[in-house]
Chain A
Amino acid sequence: MNDSYEDRIRRTVQHAAASTSVPVGLAERLLAGARSDESVRPLHTDRARTTGRRVRGWWPLLGAAAVLALAVALTWVSVHRGRNQPAHPTPTPSSVPVSPIRGPVPAGFRGVDLSFADASHGWALGTTQCTSVAGNQCATVIRTSDGGHTWGLVASPPAAVNSAPICRTSSANPPACVGHVAFVDDHVGYLWSDSSVYLTVDGGGTWSAQPGGALRLVIARGVVVRQMREPCGECGTVHYQVAPVGSNAWRELAVPNRTDIESELFAGRDAFYLVESPFSNAVLNLTTGQIVSRKASGSVDQLTLYRSTDAARTWERMTTVPLPYIVNGLSAALDDSLLFVRYDAPQSPIGMSTSTDGGRTFGPYRDFPRPNLALPTVRAISADRTLAIFPAVSGVGNHNTTALSYLSTDAGRTWHLVQRENGVDSVTEVGMGFSSVTNGFRLAADQRSAWLTTDGGQTWIRHAF
């Protein structure tokens, strides 16, 4: 056919649009959804989407009684919204303009954590030399809005970064410290450490200190859940708080697990997970493969997984796994599949299995590649796609390690090496993640750049800060 490829695209999209039938009753459903949401405006939650899902999910039941059933559905939605999402006084983040960039990335900036809300919008928490904070290592936040091509400075709270010596030693007048960053969208984000939490609703233009800190802070279904320990060293019990995303209305959260140990807390797309394990405090030496665990007094040799799919209001016990082997990690992918990583002994095969039913059952055990005796840092991307990064010692001294990244796209059946990064000090999960199945990020070893992928981890491109 003597036409351009553009013409093919034009014909295809126009054909697709023309051949797409519009759902019956769409306008009325959309109207009802918008009106019913007005009484409890969302705070960048996925409630607006769930409206459509709930109503659409009932659509087959409507049949000839569409009008009556729709009224019932809307009543149901309205009632459940009101109960599930308590009102709070924080301004709607979407109504707040995103703050402008304040200037170029400071000289000497070194990233310590990285977060991307989507393919374009990313933030790096790092440190720069300063005189305004005790220890002279100021927490500094930079932002990109074009997928990492350009970065600029935004505001930072008056805090040091966790890596600063003053944050790791006793001090008469310790500064606030932060070590992690997570953004939900282009407006709402958090900085936190075990002693401090800061919230922004304008993309990093202003930060408000939240009471307390966070051992872990995870986000799903429009709420943020944090795990906390009272500031009394190891003596305090662990407790949990929840708040709507972007809100400072924290409230205590009832959880089913023990509170004398730090359970793993993580989230997938729509669910929160708690893993109660005596090995939660395990310390892994990724170079040698040795594990040092601090088995909590009175703990049992099993792993218990709990899941919440209603924004942490109720929890369901999903499974209890006996522990003849050592758990290296249990994490959720973006599609809410779960990845269970285990190994039996430092020199035996490392394996993974996947659950696609929220952790009730797990699939067959698949071996990881084993380029050396080191243990990998593993990132679940989806039920089929997993990234495993192995440290390989290549010399002596600091930054003597090469990170070998292996990707599997078939649930662990086969693996292939996708990236090799030299000069690494250590491989950790900090600064690594995926905002979608295709878009991933990882803080580079030099701490002055980010590795980004837009093809699900197949290829990685370095973007300098």
Chain B
Amino acid sequence: MASDEAFAAFMRANSASLFRTAFLLTGARASAEDLLQETLTRLYPKWDVVSRADSPIAYVRRSLTNAFISSGRRKQIGTLSRWERPDGWDRAGDEDPEDEVANRELVWQLLGALPRRQRAAVVMRYFHGMPDDEIASNLGCRAVTVRSLVSRAVAGMRAGSGAQPDTNGRREHSR
């Protein structure tokens, strides 16, 4: 089946990237794989539609994000109880100053405590570098809502870390 072959090729090329996104959303490798599996299981039957999208990877990422946000009570519990550090977390950070490592650990944990939509917005903004209108398209909301989500997320994380508000005049949602 042509769409099956296309799906397989897409998966082999993009599963690693999608897994990393899922991991940032769920904070757990097991949950990330579950989320990815759930998303792809839903998309597989209509892969011919997905493959005709302007950007299939963006389509899948959007589906992944929506599955994460809208998934029900069961998975949310698992996610909350298993927010974990990446397996290469310490190795990759050896060269960083000690306070940077400590900050990073705290920021990572605070990210895990964010509400789902805020966390998704943060991941899209700071990992994928998406502009607000693209995040808005992914989340099914307006750009102003994205700015609000990110602003609240950053403010909440900053408050949780005890950090002082930025004093360099930059807005948190400056994109």
Contact = CB atoms under 8 A, between A and B. Distances in A.
Nearest to A184: B72
A22 B108 contact: no
Contacts of A12: 103-104, 107-108, 111
Given A19-B86, A335-B81, A269 B73 contact: yes
Nearest to B33: A52
Interface of B is mostly: helix
A435 B76 contact: yes
B86 A22 contact: no
A167 B82 CA distance: 46
A11 B89 CA distance: 12
Interface stretch (A112-120, A131-139, A362-370): A112-120
Contact of A21 (B8, B77, B88, B168): B88
Nearest to B97: A1
Contacts of A94: 42
Given A14-B126, A46-B74, A56-B30, A30 B37 contact: yes
Given A9-B157, A17-B127, A118 B44 contact: no
Nearest to A19: B88
Interface string A35-79: 101100110001011011100100000000000000000000000
A11 B96 CA distance: 11
A437 B7 contact: no
A4 B19 contact: no
Interface residues of A, number: 61
A186 interface: yes
A287 interface: no
Contact of B23 (A17, A119, A335, A454): A17
Nearest to A336: B77
Interface string A423-438: 0000000000011111
Contacts of B38: 48-49, 52
Interface in A404-455: 434-439, 454
B40 A13 contact: no
B80 interface: yes
B45 interface: yes
Interface string B133-175: 0000000000000000000001001100101001010101010
B8 A19 contact: no
A58 to B, nearest CB: 13
B61 interface: no
A9 B126 contact: yes
A258 interface: no
Contacts of B45: 38, 41
A423 B160 CA distance: 35
Contact of B108 (A16, A49, A117, A269): A16
Contacts of A17: 20-21, 23-24, 86, 127
B23 A120 contact: no
B34 A52 contact: yes
A16 B86 contact: yes
Interface string A97-129: 000000000000000000001111100000000
A33 interface: yes
Interface string B91-131: 11100000110011001100100011100001100110000
A304 to B, nearest CB: 26
A175 B172 CA distance: 56
Given A12-B108, A269-B73, A438 B80 contact: yes
Given A21-B87, A23-B29, A436-B80, A6 B40 contact: no
A56 B126 contact: no
Q: Which of A51, A335, A435, A436 has the most CB of B within 10 A?
A: A436
A27 B11 contact: yes
Contact of A22 (B19, B41, B100): B19
A443 B54 CA distance: 44
Contact of B41 (A14, A15, A34, A270): A34
B103 to A, nearest CB: 6
A184 B73 CA distance: 9
Contacts of B15: 22, 26-27, 30
A5 B113 CA distance: 17
A334 interface: yes
Nearest to B23: A20
A260 interface: no
A18 interface: yes
Contacts of A18: 88, 92
Interface in B9-41: 11-12, 15-16, 19-21, 23-24, 29-30, 33-34, 36-38, 40-41
B126 A6 contact: yes
Contact of A437 (B80, B111, B117, B154): B80
B57 interface: no
A118 B69 contact: yes
Contacts of A29: 33, 37
Contacts of B71: 118
Contact of A20 (B12, B20, B41, B104): B20
Nearest to B119: A13
B4 interface: yes
A43 to B, nearest CB: 12
B44 A34 contact: yes
B20 to A, nearest CB: 4
Nearest to B150: A6
B166 A5 contact: yes
Interface string B51-72: 0000000000000000001111
Given A5-B166, A27-B12, 6 more contacts: A9-B107, A20-B87, A22-B15, A27-B11, A30-B11, A437-B80
12 contacts: A11-B104, A15-B89, A17-B127, A21-B87, A23-B29, A23-B33, A33-B41, A34-B44, A46-B75, A48-B38, A49-B37, A52-B36
| Closest CB pairs A-B (n = 4) | A19-B88, A436-B76, A34-B44, A52-B37
